[in-house]
Amino acid sequence: MKPISDYKDYRLYIRDFYEERKMMTGLSWRGFNKMAGYSSTRFLKLVCDGKSKLSGVGAARVASAMGLSKIQTSYFLAMVTY
């Protein structure tokens, strides 16, 4: 997967992260949403499809679920805010 700094759109980053983990570990949208603390089984899919948005709190939870470092989390939150 490309470094996070190569991304300008957080939706593409989430999708690429999901696709890579799906291939490596069999991660499902349901599992990804659960890791991020969402009760909806398809919320992050809707975010990636541009049909929903992440809040600041939600973005922090997703960054934590993805295991991003402190600097990566800062960049991710900036992408979401932008």
DSSP state of 32: H
If you count them, how many residues does the chain have?
82
Determine phi and psi for 7, rounding to 5 degrees: -100, 145
Domain chopping of the chain, boundaries: 4-81
The reported pTM is: 0.92
Per-residue pLDDT of 1-59, as tens digits, reads 899 999 999 999 999 999 999 999 999 999 999 999 999 999 999 999 999 999 999 99
Does CATH place domain 4-81 in 1.10.260?
A: yes
